[in-house]
Amino acid sequence: MKYSINSMNLQELLQKIKNELKLRNYSPRTIESYLACLTEYFKYIKNIKREPEIAKIKEYLLEKQNRKQSSQTINLHLQAIKYFYREVMRSVSIIDIKFAKTASKLPVVLSRNEIERMIDSIKNPKHRLLIAFSYGAGLRVSEAINLKFKDIDLEELTLHIKGAKGNKDRISMISEKIRSDLRELMALKNANDFVFESNRGGKLDERSAQKVFENALKKAGIKKEATFHSLRHSFATHLLENGVDVRYVQELLGHANIRTTQIYTKVTNPMLKKIKSPLE
């Protein structure tokens, strides 16, 4: 079986791939990423065969490396290609190409004082609650904007996060400090309403949430290269500093592998913090 990009409608093929991904319950973000990767790959190879041409795939990935694209980007393209041949083309061939080695970078963590300064710098009550809530529950930006009032239990101070990364549900905590703010907000809303609505109605979009974070970071005078996700990094790090067992932190973050959670032990090692510089 062989398809030529010229003779076959590329959009039809991409729609078929999209349908397969949806049937397997992949997240909208993953579907979008895979389709973008495969569109680029198809245009590069021009002719699509049922069985993968390993040399051509390697050539494609090496070209990306030569263009200084990140290891994460190269790995994403490789994952998308493997998925296409395995699940869509039903190829039995094994694409024995190893993932690109990713750089071992420590997460950017904000101190408790920096988090407090950020929250205090925000005048808009809804925006202030967004940052405080996301930090206090360890939320990803996508989880924060998709949050509905029915997911909140103010009596138990718990939060039911639904369909998170990997389409997994999990339970997290709500800070006592924001209980009264949430109660006031909930009194005016329906259970199915989004907690963080946009001014036009409907949920706040990711870019707007990130902009709230960026503005607060700037107003607080913090120079770290932090992103909205740094709130989640800070949540995990501060829990470990408080003596919470790493396995409980893993559960609160929804990590499938504890090794993902253990990265935070590298930025919160109390023994390292006790060591004084010889310059002292």
In angstroms, how far is CA 133 from the centroid of its own chain? Answer: 17
Marked catalytic residue, from 49, 165, 170, 211: 165
Q: Which long-range contacts (CB under 8 A, 24 or more apart) does 202-209 make?
A: 203/145, 203/146, 204/130, 204/145, 205/145, 206/141, 206/142, 206/145, 209/130, 209/141, 209/144, 209/145
Q: Using an 8 Å Cβ cutoff, are 71 and 102 in contact?
A: yes
**Hey, what CATH class is 2-88 in?**
mainly alpha
Q: What is the pLDDT of residue 166?
A: 67
Nearest-CA neighbor of 146 among 209, 222, 65, 83? 209
In angstroms, how far is CA 5 from the centroid of its own chain? Answer: 33
Query: pTM of the predicted model, to two decimals?
Result: 0.73
In angstroms, how far is CA 33 from the centroid of its own chain? Answer: 13
Q: What is the pLDDT of residue 8?
A: 55
How close are the terminal C-alpha atoms of the chain, in Å?
71
Distances, alpha carbon 212 to alpha carbons 67, 73, 219, in Å: 33, 27, 11
Q: What is the pLDDT of residue 27?
A: 81
Domain boundaries, the chain: 2-88, 112-269
Marked catalytic residue, from 203, 232, 233, 238: 232
Q: What is the pLDDT of residue 270?
A: 67
Domain 112-269, CATH = 1.10.443.10
pLDDT in tens, the chain (280 residues): 555 554 457 888 899 999 999 988 888 888 999 999 999 999 998 888 889 999 999 999 999 989 988 888 999 999 999 999 999 999 888 898 887 776 667 899 999 999 999 999 999 999 999 999 999 999 999 999 999 999 999 999 999 998 777 678 899 999 999 999 999 988 888 999 999 998 887 889 999 999 999 999 999 999 999 999 999 999 999 999 998 999 999 999 988 888 888 888 888 866 666 777 787 6
CA torsion 60→63→68→74, rounded to 10°?
A: 10
Buried b (16+ CB within 10 A) or exposed e, 109-122: bbeeebbebbbebb
Catalytic status, residue 255: yes
Q: What is the pLDDT of residue 279?
A: 78
Catalytic status, residue 229: yes
| SS3 per-residue string spanning the chain | CEEECCCCCHHHHHHHHHHHHHHCCCCHHHHHHHHHHHHHHHHHHCEEECCCCHHHHHHHHHHHHHCCCCHHHHHHHHHHHHHHHHHHCCCCCCCCCCCCCCCCCCCCCCCHHHHHHHHHHCCCHHHHHHHHHHHHHCCCHHHHHCCEHHHEECCCCEEEEEEEHHHEEEEEECCHHHHHHHHHHHCCCCCCCECCECCCCCECCHHHHHHHHHHHHHHCCCCCCCCCHHHHHHHHHHHHHCCCCHHHHHHHHCCCCHHHHHHHHHCCCHHHHHCCCCCC
Written as six digits, the tokens of 16 are 């078929």
Marked catalytic residue, from 128, 140, 203, 233: 140
